[in-house]
Amino acid sequence: MNSEICRTSFFLLTVALSGGESAAGLGSDFLRAEIQTYAPIVQKIFKYVVDGGYKNVTYDSLADFTDRFGSRLAGTRNLEDSIDFILEKSEELGLENVRGEDVQVPHWERGFEAAYLLSPRKTEIKILGLGHSIGTPPEGLTADVVVVDSFEELERLNSTNTDAIKGKILVFNEAYVWYGVTVEYRGRAAVEAGKYGAVATLVRSVAPFSINSPHTGSMNYAENVTKVPVACISIEAAEMLRRMVDRGSQVTIKLIMNAKEYGPETSRNVIAEIGGFSKPLEQVIISGHIDSWDVGQGAMDDGGGAFISWHSLIVLKNLGLRPRRTIRGILWTAEEWGYVGAKEYLNRHRSDLEKINFVMESDGGTFTPLGLEVAASDAAATIIQEILNLMGYINATQIKRYKSVGSDIELFINEGIPAASLLNDNERYFWFHHSEGDMMTVQNPQDMDKCTALWAAVAYVIADLKDPMPRR
């Protein structure tokens, strides 16, 4: 059904348009006609993945993988073992150009860590140290607590008394607004604490809901600012400490963190492909990241995204669907350390960037898929909407447009490459994110099937369209 007869060059047509008529307007009739020819192929993918022989495979294999390896912090042997496993399986399953590309990644381990409230009463406070945090002295450190709800409150407190923070454990009890905003507290807390002379800082977990669950994540130190240990505490604990301080109690905590930075290690971006039949040098990238934090199983962040990408390749391979362009699956390493794998990829493949037609990453949950989040020009978005109109079978026809989408692929978007992430019903994503709750229980086999089917279908159609996806 890959007939070229019905297709025409949308890209050339829209370029030829004069100002009065919108690009989407005139072009979309031709575009629609071309894209409509893919309806039977999309149906074939859906039938196979959602109701046929591939039903439950994505979920079952992710469960096997995460049960086998657990969490996969970049820098650990465990991640490398899990990468070997994926490489071997990819070869076995007949994927093409299977390889790992070396990446130097940080190696940090949290070791033993604990916090004990000593006053006004004795109890343990659950913590999760943040990645790259320094440790405390081996015997721990004990200090009184100061609590602020915001950086502004911290400034005010320090401006009225420049000794207010000195020698203290600084607790941030910031309200959760949304992740992209509130995560600044996790990132900046250590620098702010160090700047004002705190001996350590504890940050309320960046999450909208909690069952006394701390969440880890990345943080930053700054040059010329004393480094202090930093960990997250639960929403419940942060609120409790705030109340205690507000009542005038002396609040004292003993903090022990054996966290330690080791030398860098070699990890790998995992690459496997379905080679294009007529334009093999042009690529559509589908991706997720294979590393995770060192808690839970990394089943959601980003086992789900990695596995729908990997299984999309296998599905297309099994169905004999080889598009014009190459579909390159990439499982990034060390995303959690700051897109380390993606940065290395970009450096290594800089001369190929022009050949990247479209880049996709799922790193925001693989719950019920609704469509795509898109960072692309109007013309590209129009094409993607037309493609999504084929996804009615699983009700995943929505498009949402953003300046940037995904995580690692932000780097590609900055290079002007059109991109998409998975739009899914991920309302509870940050309940589990970077916590012990990121386990297989959050995943659902039927939803994962739909995600894989959507992902495979979109990648295939884009990789097979006669003309490349228009850039900005």
Mind telling me the catalytic residues? 335
CB of 206 to its own copies, least distance (A): 14
CB of 233 to its own copies, least distance (A): 12
Rank residues 153 and 436 by Cβ distance to its own copies and give the closer one.
436
CB of 76 to its own copies, least distance (A): 13
Measured CA to CA in angstroms, residue 105 lies from 52, 101, 261, 262 at distances of: 40, 12, 12, 11
> How far is Cα 399 from Cα 70, in angstroms, rounded to an integer?
33
Tokens of 369: 């898929």
Rank residues 119 and 318 by Cβ distance to its own copies and give the closer one.
119
CB of 425 to its own copies, least distance (A): 16
Rank residues 231 and 374 by Cβ distance to its own copies and give the closer one.
231
Contacting positions for its own copies (CB under 8 A): 63-64, 67-70, 120-121, 123, 126, 210-213, 235-237, 239-240, 243-244, 247, 296-297, 431-432, 435-437, 439-441
Residue at token pair 């992740």:
179
- Do 15 and 363 meet the contact criterion of CB atoms below 8 Å apart? no
- Do 432 and 382 meet the contact criterion of CB atoms below 8 Å apart? no
DSSP per-residue string spanning 162-199: TTSSTTSEEEE-PPP--HHHHHHHHHHHHHHHHHTT-S
Residues 6+ away with beta carbon under 8 Å from 150: 174
> How far is Cα 437 from Cα 282, in angstroms, rounded to an integer?
39
- H or E element that contains 260: strand 260-274
Rank residues 96 and 291 by Cβ distance to its own copies and give the closer one.
291
Rank residues 86 and 375 by Cβ distance to its own copies and give the closer one.
86
Residues 6+ away with beta carbon under 8 Å from 291: 72, 73, 74, 79, 105, 267, 298, 332, 333, 334, 335, 336, 337, 341
Rank residues 71 and 269 by Cβ distance to its own copies and give the closer one.
71
- Do 358 and 284 meet the contact criterion of CB atoms below 8 Å apart? yes
CB of 173 to its own copies, least distance (A): 11
- H or E element that contains 283: strand 279-289
CB of 191 to its own copies, least distance (A): 28
